[in-house]
Amino acid sequence: MDAGLPADRTFRVPQQERGQRRVAQILDAAAEVILAHGVGGATMQLIAERAGASAGSLYHFFPNKDAVLESLGAQYADRARRRNEEAMPFSLVHLEPDALFDRVLRGQMAFLEETPAFGAVQEAVERNCPAIFDALNQAVVGHVGQFLALRYPRMPEPQRLASAMVSVSTVLAIVGLAGRLPPTMREPVIREGKAMLAAHFGAADARFGIGSAASGDLHGQV
């Protein structure tokens, strides 16, 4: 989790279960403090108090607030990546576009609702350590690219890569917009976004056809 972070921001990775639980408690507390006070108002002392830990215990694992934020950002990025892979496993490569993007968009919306501090943490981390969310984007684009290679084996590879990048960026934009809107407007935005993506990939289905053996080959791997 500390790959790519400056040495003075890396946190101590606990080897024992007790230490791992303590780190999880600290990160949960940090998210609560950020929601209550914002990133700027979140201090190490407030995080320690919310976690029910001493300041010394907090500094034992995290040298400063940047390290806490970047660890939380890495955790959130990994959750978002896994949520996307769960929404579009290779075994569902034949799924109709409308149903596929319903799974993707609602999965990401559920992730945002479960992690309300994500937006603030993402903004702070992208300012100071963009590699964390760059890695997330590359991982998601890579997974979507593999999915499209199975679904559209006749689609030229450069087009598949472009389609993967555009669709990932579009999903993130739709979910980000919906997350900023009042609850009453979220459903219409998700519906419109799903219709747009489904129309695009419906046209790709008609043009390239859907691979005939893709899901059977990889079903046991997902």
CA separation, residue 21 to residues 30, 63, 71, 210, 219 (Å): 14, 18, 14, 45, 34
CA separation, residue 23 to residues 89, 126, 198 (Å): 31, 22, 41
The pLDDT of residue 221 is 38
- pLDDT > 80? residue 15: no
**Residue 1 one-letter amino acid:** M
Report the mean per-residue pLDDT for the chain: 87
The pLDDT of residue 128 is 85
Triad 44, 50, 54: Cα angle to 5°: 60
17: confidence class by pLDDT, cuts 50, 70, 90:
confident
CA end-to-end span of the chain: 23
Structural tokens at position 113 = 């609702």
- pLDDT > 70? residue 212: no
pLDDT per residue as tens digits for the range 102-127? 999 999 999 999 999 998 998 899 88
pLDDT per residue as tens digits for the range 45-95? 999 999 998 888 899 899 999 999 999 999 999 999 999 999 999 999 999
CATH for 72-221, options being 1.10.357, 1.25.40, 1.10.10, 3.30.2310 = 1.10.357
The pLDDT of residue 201 is 97
The pLDDT of residue 220 is 38
Structural tokens at position 129 = 């350590």
- pLDDT > 90? residue 198: yes
Beta carbons within 8 Å of 105's beta carbon, 6+ residues apart = 171, 174, 175, 190, 193, 194, 197
Beta carbons within 8 Å of 11's beta carbon, 6+ residues apart = 2, 23, 61, 62, 63, 67, 68, 71
pLDDT per residue as tens digits for the range 140-165? 999 999 999 999 999 999 999 999 99
